[in-house]
Structure 1
Amino acid sequence: MSGKILVAGASGALGLEVVKILHENGHDLRGLVFTGDGAEKVAPYTQDIWQADASKGNLEIKDITKGITTVISALGKSVSLFTDRGNSFLETDFYANSNLLDDALKNGVERFVYVSIKGAEEATEFEIPKVHRMFEDALEASGIDYTIIRPVGFFSGLNDLAIMAKRKLIPIIGDGSAKTNSIHQKDLAEVVVKYLETGPQVIEVGGPMIHTRKEMAEMIKNKIGGKIIEVPEKVAEWGMFLPEMVDEDMSDKLKYFKHITTQDMIGEKNGSITFEEYLRDLDLKELP
């Protein structure tokens, strides 16, 4: 399969790494970004950049897939407690991707690669995996050739703990015994590009090493400092209700954070970059 590739969410932690790999391999690219800053990040790799809010559909992205052979969507709302782009998870993760899919079907796109999250099929009582699963269902029903990639989590998604460590506290919920093999966004980008032309319908992806949550907290402590605080699960559960009185978005994030950090989240091993290496190269000045 050859042709032009649309990368949605092109300026995000994962999307930008995908763009870099495709550019290095000589692919013709179009990027979808949300902000002017995002456009500046993508500009060295393609001049075909759409700055738009895909959740608004034809108002902003009509025919964005015209001339496109493959869509890669790394489009989604950040789960970080320290960032907020304004739109809800439903708008960003479901409506935006659904609008892209509708446009792709209209314009005869051949393949759609979607980056979802592990747990999308089994944790639908939580808003974040629920909206990912909603789009997975739409993609599966569309008839287009597709691959759904479910990473267990990015290293950059653990930056919240690094930010808290700068404030001298590193909270872990429960005893920290739950295991995960989070993956560096560069390694995950290699997986995404691997399935550019063909691949399984669904794959769960992790990084090269499995650690407990407490082990990862210890690595953050060794890098930054701070005190590890174990928050009992019951205390965390009660705490999840309080933000609903102020901010539903924050509540969704906290509930999901509690869920994923107290469950084993392990995917197929990929890549070579370890969490220790990621922390070694982390520029603390870039964290708030």
Structure 2
Amino acid sequence: MQSVFIAGATGYLGRFLCAAYRSRGYLVTALVRDRERAEDLDADVLIEAEATRPETLSGVMDGIDLVVSALGITRQADGLSYKEVDFGANLNLLREAERAGVKRFGYVHVLNSDAMRHVPLVSAKADFVDQLRTSRIASTVVAPSGYFSDMEEFLSMARAGRAWLFGSGAKRINPIHGADLAAAIADATEAGLGWLDVGGPDTFTQAEIARLAFAALDSPVRITRLPDVLRKAALAVLPRVAPRRIHGPAQFFLTALSRDMVGKAQGTRRLSDHFRHLAGSTNATLSKEVTP
């Protein structure tokens, strides 16, 4: 039986990765920070350790065939930097994998990273990929366009009654559901691919995603387009006035909004269905709350 070690297992994508590999017959070991909060993971073994502290990783990959890391900061709640986590923690994982004789290391990166390397989040990831590609371990780097969960911001704006877009809203993206991305990553590591730029089955402009969100809510479409100079101004000002946990993700998203983010189409799950599901779940909750 093949064995896989999943880092970032309790995150949005990590949970799908555990389920995807386990469904393929792998023995799944999940790296977690808190075992009690991870007992619902679809994993055979839970390893409680801190990837930012290399001494806690000693021996955890012995007998492992494949490491897949989706480890990274999304919302900087614990004060750690991208350099400490997206670069440093992943480098600690790589060094332990090298010591343990792991055959392949898979890593979840960012689409169009070369064009966004000035963004701290992307820079830390890209620096790690540079280290990974010089390692003696075979590697698979998967760079997704964006997640369905990222697109939920459009649904939030639609619920508030208006979607705000920078510029024309014509930049394109094919976001991918976490389950489809996990399957694409498993396919890529099994096929021995070196690099995969990936996205979901449907490509939209940003304006089209906003319209999808309004349609899911059965609400009138109200879209306001802001001059792109305001996006650029926000990029310049945010690091000076907002804490890192806010301006870090904002820098990434505001930069990505200025580019087409389209990867190789994979998967079957549709963003329109995802929005309708979320809209229906919210409506059901609200109905229960107002029922006497």
TM value normalised by structure 1: 0.89
**Secondary structure in 1 aligned to 2:115?**
coil
1:231 Cα deviation after fit: 2.3
Specify whether residues 46 and 92 from structure 1 end up closer, same or farther in structure 2 by C-alpha distance, changes over 3 A only.
same
Matched, 1:53 2:46: no
SS of the counterpart of 1:190?
helix
> Which residue in 2 is equivalent to 1:30?
29
Q: In structure 2, do the counterparts of structure 1 residues 231 and 252 end up closer, same or farther at CA, with 3 Å as the change threshold?
A: farther
Cα offsets for 1:144-184 (capped at 9, x unmatched): 11110001111112223333433334222211000111111
Give the drift of 1:55. 1.6
What is the aligned partner in structure 1 of residue 289 from structure 2? none
Q: Which residue in the other structure is 1:262 paired with?
A: 258
Output the amino acid matched with 2:154: L
1:243 aligns with 2:238: yes
Matches of residues 84-95 of structure 1 in structure 2 within 5 Å?
84-95=77-88
Matched position secondary structure for 2:30: strand
Cα deviations across residues 94-117 of structure 1 (Å, max 9, x unaligned)?
Answer: 111111001000111111111111
Question: Helix, strand or coil for the counterpart of 1:200?
Answer: coil
1:255 is paired with a residue whose SS is helix
> CA, structure 1 residues 41+227, in 2 after alignment: closer, same or farther (shift >3 Å)?
farther
Which residue does the alignment assign to 1:277? 273
Unaligned runs of 5+ in 1: none
CA distance in 2, matches of 1:61, 1:172: 44
Hey, what does 1:19 align to over in structure 2?
Answer: 18
2:189 to 186, 191, 196: 196
Deviation at residue 229 of structure 1 after TM alignment: 2.8
> How far is 1:253 from its partner?
1.9
Partner of residue 112, structure 2: 119
Distance 1:286 1:13 in 2: 24
Distance change in 2, residues 1:286/1:191 (3 Å): farther
**Cα pair 1:243 1:251 within 8 Å, conserved:** yes
Pick which of 15-24 and 206-215 moved more.
15-24
Q: Does 1:229 align with 2:224?
A: yes
Q: Would the alpha carbon gap of residues 47 and 187 (structure 1) be closer, same or farther in structure 2, given more than 3 Å must change?
A: closer
2:249 and 2:243 mapped to 1: Cα distance? Answer: 10
Query: Which residue number in structure 1 is paired with residue 199 of structure 2?
Result: 206
C-alpha deviation, 1:286, in angstroms: 12
Which stretches in structure 2 are left out of the alignment for 5+ residues?
Answer: 286-292
Alpha-carbon distance change, 38 to 142 in structure 1, aligned in 2, over 3 angstroms = farther
Letter aligned with residue 22 of structure 2: H
Letter in 2 for 1:235: L
- Give the count of matched residue pairs: 280
- The answer as to 2:172 corresponding to 1:179 is yes
Report sequence identity in percent.
27
Structure 2 match to 1:157: 150
Q: Which residue of 2 aligns with 1:106?
A: 99
Provide the rounded CA distance (Å) in 1 between the counterparts of 2:139 and 2:104.
Answer: 6
What CA distance in whole angstroms lies between the structure 2 residues aligned with 1:52 and 1:214? 43
Kindly indicate whether the alpha-carbon contact (under 8 Å) linking 1:88 and 1:249 is maintained by their aligned counterparts in 2: no
What do you get for the CA RMSD once the two structures are aligned? 2.3
| CA distance in structure 2 between the partners assigned to 1:251 and 1:286 by the alignment | 34
Q: Which has the larger radius of gyration?
A: 2
Residue 235 of structure 1, CA deviation: 1.1
State the alpha-carbon separation in 1 of the partners of residues 13 and 137 from structure 2. 23
Residues in 2 aligned to 1:286 and 1:136: alpha-carbon distance in whole angstroms: 44
